[in-house]
Structure 1
């Protein structure tokens, strides 16, 4: 499957189409997709979602998708790397930081369009209009600051809608959704993701929570945690200047050697080789 690469931290792609010309693909970046007019089907990760004017989708690097266009559709794609929010002057303890981090590490694709409320769609549309205008003018040094503020507002609205709505089509048991959310929120604290700790948090026996999770998702809980952590580490290697020691520390590894061994075990590559490949 083809993987599209973003060579800049941020761009906007606005166009109309009657036929979708791209094969099913993944990305190396995040993507907010606005449907400004038109109708059709959005295929995401093997699921089918009808789309129409006002719908908004959020895709991460491992999501794969394409469109079947039924009516002339006006799209606007905002493509960005997670690194655009790692600005050195930003207070890392700001309350919006964990909300956006959770949004970007939470799969939204069991829900289709994230935004349902008409007023919320209008707010996002207005923010998009301002962002596009600033993107066209691109006046340094103001653009990066304005862009980040507008993007932060958009992502906070998406988070409010995503975390406040039920899936349009349930994929797994609600208790599993709670476990998934907990794992994603605590992925940087390995001690809080031990089977024993998770069993205590969710009031299951340690043996049962693993069986329950695998029955509902088809994947073991331990394997899911490792895969999710590796996915985030790959993003750090691709889009951040952090050293291996800093990444190992961020994700709670005891040392750089242990970090490198586990990364190689699950990817077949050392972190250094993976970073050089890109």
Structure 2
């Protein structure tokens, strides 16, 4: 895995921004020489994209940072949707420091540092927060066509992702032991997030008893595991409500709820709004951007 180090004091200059919706199942990403940075956040489907000879497969909720110069192309048809923006860095020098797993610095940087590091690709921890910022960026671009404002949003989005990846983890990682078990729990919850997942199922899968998993997770993360599972479900629900016209009842079933009323009550408890009110507030009309 490669990592790019940026400095917030350097210039981030917005080029173009948008949301892409594949017109049909036969669409494949164009082949081109990429001469500036591109940031992609997947909202639906799978994107099959390559840089030089390296192939990537991006799924819903994942991001990719494409670094210039490179030959970028699709290697397989992709029925998908994603937000994207292009930008240049450091007065068009486009010269962030690049690390690999063996050379990357200890993260996060000290408080007050203007530097931040992003991996090449990965899963967005809090997708709804990134999507809200991406929508605000698109809205500002449509309303004002102000490159300076767009550039500020790009800096903000990249720093938000860095904060999600490293600063939140620092806050909740009070116990540095048993990292593998903690990661295994998170991975299993992510894998089963569409089911009505029970703690004893997690424990059985990992070979522990439910009481130990409950105590361990609360100590490790600061959250009860049931609350964490429900929070992740609500994050997905917010993304689905703002990104699609899927009926509330269908979203409820997709997230393992037996009825839409129970889902609506839980959603209101976590967000202070009903699902319909949230969609009216944060949903944007979907448009094609090429």
Higher relative contact order (CA closer than 8 Å, sequence separation 6+) = 2
| Interval of TM-score (by shorter of Structure 1 and Structure 2) | 0.3 to 0.5
Normalised to the residue count of structure 2, the TM-score between the two structures is: 0.45
Q: Which has the higher helix share?
A: 1
Normalised to the residue count of structure 1, the TM-score between the two structures is: 0.47
Q: Which has the higher strand share?
A: 2
